[in-house]
Each structure stands twice: as structure tokens, then as C-alpha cells.
Amino acid sequence: MPIPIHDAEALLDDASLSRTEATGESFPALEHFRIQNVPPAAYYIPDFITKEEEEYLLRRIGESPQPKWKKVGTGRRLQYWGGTMSKKGILLPEPLPDFLNEYPDIVERIESFLRVASSVKGKEKMELGINQVLINEYQPGQGISPHEDGPAFHPLVATLSLGSHTVLDLHHYLNPTSPSPPMISSSPSLTEGEMGKSIAAIPLGHLLLMPRSLLVLSSTLYTSHLHAISSRHKDIIVPRSLSTPTTNPNGAQSSGIDEEGAVTIANAELLGDAEVIDALREGKWIGERGIRTSLTFRRAEKVLKGGALGVLGNALKRP
């Protein structure tokens, strides 16, 4: 059920809302947003921010000083806010910028959404504790190869998409004892411990991420799967019934890619986008990719005490 987050009150009756006692804030329960048919757990929240907020964030990100941008292999650019990681996986912390935690205060919005929406009796409340935000900027035709974000981060991450849609592919590792299906050999972008494992070439599933949406990945989807974005200029999405399903080595159905490169998506029911839904009803949706900026909100588990200058500060304090 697509529910624009800022219209939650208007669309849902009181019984389906989770509400904080302190502030009276309310959000639809997280289960409304769960993506079915992928390993646990992924949640897709359409329209998590408004168009005005999106434009503002893109402007502020664009105004960042040049040295803040780092270029990586395939040409995409990225920025780290909140600090960078040491080689040993420890965050060297820095304060977050005002465009992330003052206005529009996306950090607090994500925190309270997760806390409130997961507050269902008998379920553990989700606490993220964001201390780092990774910003990626992709030109059309750029992507990111299959990788894990790794154990240095808490296995609950939220990604906001701005500017353009993309398709995120979910991959799994091959079971070394099962017969040999198509595979991708281990990618150099994998975290150390994962080097040498083979990755299934056919993704387990595809997720269409529209501008202004929030994607939350957690649990085994974070800890034992990989994610990737293929380097395409356009995406062709077809409804499930029109695709040729393939079977992966675990026996689970995965969405096949046909000759044209069309894919089916696991989050079609949650999109909340009339244009895409209508096009899918007619047979297919074709989306030319524009420049997409993604913001990944996460928590580094280990943080250097005393900030990035902690070591230096402590050294200076010594007699």
C-alpha cells in the first residue's frame, strides 16, 4: 500500500498508525513498507521527503567544496559526512552538516520513523543511531558492482534517492556444494573476509528506487547478501507475469533479465507512483536515468573517542 510519508495521517485511520507518546508523531507501521519476495529484510518508503526538500538537499550537496568530492573507479563521485573510516574500521568522527541534521533534518526524520514505525508490541524497536552519511552521485551509465557494506557498520542502513530513479540489484553468494550456475567471481570491492566467495550472476531481485524514496536494508539482506547497480542509461521494467522467471541454485525464483534487459521488480506494490504503475499495467515502464544522488545513512559501530583529532589531542596533552 503506497503511503506518502508526509500524508500518513490523512491516508490511514488511527488504528494503523504507530504514534510516539512524547511528540504525538505518527507513522504507518513499518510492515506496510516491507518488500515481499526478497530475503529479510527490506523496506521501501515512497515520498519520504518532499520535492522542495529534494531540491534543497541537491543544491546544498552541489555547493560542497570541491575537495569534499572523491572520485572512484567507475567515475562516480562520493562525499563522506560525519567522518571517514580508518583502515581498521573505526570512524574518525566529524559533526554532520546542517543540511542533514538541522533543516530538513533527515537524520532525525529517519531515526524517528524507524523508532516509531517499528514500535509494535512484541517487536524489537529499531534504533539506527546515524553517525555517518555516504553520498554517491551517479551519472547515467554509471553503477556500482556487487558488494557488501561490511561489518564495520550496524546492519541497518537507510538510503535516500534524489534526482533520478535507479534499479538496485540484490545478489547472493553461491553455495560451494551446489551445481555450478552462472557466477561472477569475487569482486575486488568486497570486504576482506568475503574475498574468494563466488557471487551468483543472476540477481536474486531488483528494486526500483524512485526519487525521494527511502530504502531500508537490514538483517540477512545486509549481513549475507550483496547489492549492486548495473551501469545502464535506461531501465526497462515489466510486470512479473510478463517476465521469464529463472531459478537460482537455492531453488528460489529470481527475476530474469530478458534480451532487451527488462527486469521485474520486487517493490512494485509499494511504488506509489501513478505514472510507473499505469505504464506497468500497459506492459512496461522505460525510465531514462538522470543524475542520481543517493544518501546512505548508517552507524559505524566503532568510533574514535575524542573526535578525529582525538589522537592528536591526547598526544598534545601528554607532558
Ligand X SMILES: O=C(O)CCC(=O)C(=O)O
Give contact residues for ligand X (rule: CB under 6 A).
134, 136, 144, 149, 159, 168, 227, 294, 296
Give least dist CB 296 to Fe ion, A: 7
SS3 121: coil
Give least dist CB 30 to ligand X, A: 20
Residue least distant from Fe ion (Cβ): 149
Give least dist CB 318 to ligand X, A: 38
229 or 280: CB nearest Fe ion: 229
CA angle at 227 for the pair 45 and 147, rounded to the nearest 5°: 145
Q: Which does 280 bind (CB under 5 to 8 A by kind): ligand X, Fe ion, none?
A: none
Name the residue with cell 504507530: 18
Give least dist CB 10 to ligand X, A: 29
Q: Does 94 bind Fe ion (CB under 5 A)?
A: no
Q: Which does 128 bind (CB under 5 to 8 A by kind): Fe ion, ligand X, none?
A: none
57 or 134: CB nearest ligand X: 134
Strands 91-93 and 77-81: unpaired
Q: Which does 136 bind (CB under 5 to 8 A by kind): Fe ion, ligand X, none?
A: ligand X
134 or 268: CB nearest ligand X: 134
Say how many CA atoms lie within 13 Å of 19 toward its Cβ.
11
113 or 153: CB nearest Fe ion: 153
DSSP H helix total and E strand total for the chain = 7, 21
Give least dist CB 269 to ligand X, A: 20
Name the residue with cell 534499479: 167
Residue least distant from ligand X (Cβ): 294
CA distances from residue 270 to 108, 132, 200, 208, 221 in whole angstroms, order as listed: 23, 27, 26, 10, 18
DSSP state of 35: P
CA nearest neighbour of 156 among 284, 30, 28: 30
94 or 149: CB nearest Fe ion: 149
Binding mask 139-168 for Fe ion (x = CB under 5 A): ----------x-------------------
The neighbour count for residue 34, using CB atoms within 10 Å, is 16
User: What residues does 298 pair with on adjacent strands?
Assistant: 132
All 3 cell numbers of residue 192? 576482506
132 or 296: CB nearest ligand X: 296
- The footprint of Fe ion (CB under 5 A) covers 149
